[in-house]
Amino acid sequence: MKPTTARFWMALFAMTALLWAGLGGQALAAPPSDSTQTVSVTASVGTTFTLTCDKSAVTLTGNPSDTKSDTVICTAKSNYTPSPWLLKIKTNQALTDSSISESIPLANFLHSSTGGSGTRDDSSDTAFTTSDVTYYTAHASEKNNLPGGTAITSTLKVNIPNNQATGSYSATVTFTMTVTP
Amino acid sequence: MVSVRLTLPLILTLGAALLGGLQEASAAPPMPADQTASVNVAVVVGRTFALVCDQTVTTLVGSPGTIQTVDVSCLAISNYSSSPWKLKIQTDQALTDASTGETIPSANFTYTSTGGEGVHNNPPGSPVAFTTTPTTYYTAASNEKNNFSKGGTRITSTYRLVIPPTQAAGSYTATVTHILTVNL
């Protein structure tokens, strides 16, 4: 073999060796393993928790010994599922006419409610109090009641005493939606 | 060594972020704040303010020189508690016989009143002559301002006529008006 030929074969061998090493010594030996990449996806769904009543004012007109009532429909919407929501109710005071310092006793100012599929505490006439009292506890199926919500109809009633002085008596009834018992 | 110093903090940071993200994703949503809705309730209690007397016509029959009396009972019902009500009384004229033009002097036609828990200006024994302008004869007690539950307050007025000895025969008339008011 001529020296020139020998150098040629040596060079060819060296290049092949380098190419083999450059491919990692395996590319040509087996199929490539899977390559994976994970993407963490978080969907954050906001909390809907609203209470809307169809009236903000109610006027009951009557004479002594009369019973007068009106209804207020409050719609509770929630998608908070860890615990059921509750509806509470209270009045800030007895019905009072401050101009004559007269009031209608709390025992004569009543509420009751209907609607929903949860538990009701005022299915019959219940006297108002000045502290929050639960009158409705949502059913498990109502914890997430979107999109329509749950409508609860409250009847506000007053039994006007037979000796009630004429006047305009007022109070503010507050409905509260909460998950706090 | 250079590459280790550069990547270790990066790995720690990424790890912490991933851990935090996993924890956040698995935690319960925050408890919603209470929601409230208010309804202003007004109760308008109607007014009862009425006076009803048991007679609308009365006749005193007598001879000259005699005294004739008649009781007229009036029921006052009120639930107006801002101020006490009063009863006033007046006559439209002296007792007059229009056919003859004769009259009985006003001083001879008097009244007193009883009943209730308030103040009588002319209790029995203190008769006063009728006048042609309204005159208060009874002021309700404080607990009578709203007397609805008690069925009202009944006040009896006694009309007293002293027929003068010289009075001409005739039919003498006048109209007595009782007024329930809260005005002075």
C-alpha distances (whole Å) from B83 to each of A89, A164, A179, B135, B160 are: 36, 15, 49, 18, 31
- For the entire predicted model, the pTM comes to 0.72
For residue B172, the distance in angstroms to the closest alpha carbon of chain A comes to: 42
Q: How high is the mean pLDDT of chain A?
A: 88
Helix (H) or strand (E) segment spanning residue A87:
strand A86-91
Residue A60 CA: distances (Å) to CA of A67, A169, B37, B85: 9, 10, 19, 26
Considering only residues B36 and B23, tell me which one the structure prediction assigns the higher pLDDT: B36
Q: How far is A93 from chain B (nearest CA, A)?
A: 11
pLDDT in tens, A128-144: 999 999 999 999 999 99
CB contact under 8 A, B32 and A72: no
Token pair listed for A177: 């939606």
Confidence of residue A7 (pLDDT cuts 50, 70, 90): low
Segment (H or E) for B16: helix B2-26
C-alpha B94/C-alpha B102 separation (Å) is: 10
Instruction: Supply A50's token pair.
Output: 């609203």
Q: What is the pLDDT of residue B19?
A: 47
Strands annotated E in chain B: 35-45, 49-53, 67-78, 86-91, 96-97, 102-103, 109-114, 119-120, 128-129, 135-139, 153-162, 176-181
Report the distance separating Cα B43 and Cα B23, nearest Å.
54
What is the distance between the alpha carbons of residues B67 and B62, in angstroms, rounded to a whole number?
7
3 state SS of A12: helix
* Residues on chain B touching A82 (C-beta within 8 angstroms): 28-29, 31
> How many Cβ atoms sit within 10 Å of the Cβ of residue A180?
13
User: pLDDT at position B7, please?
Assistant: 54
Residues of chain A neighbouring B149 (CB-CB closer than 8 A): 64, 161-163
Q: Which residue has the higher pLDDT, A146 or B7?
A: A146
Chain A contact set for B48 (CB, 8 A): 63-64, 166
pLDDT of residue A33: 81
pLDDT, tens digit (0-9, with 9 covering 90-100), for B72-85: 999 999 999 888 99
ipTM: 0.75
B82 touches chain A (CB under 8 A): yes
Q: Where residue A2 falls among pLDDT bands split at 50, 70, 90?
A: low
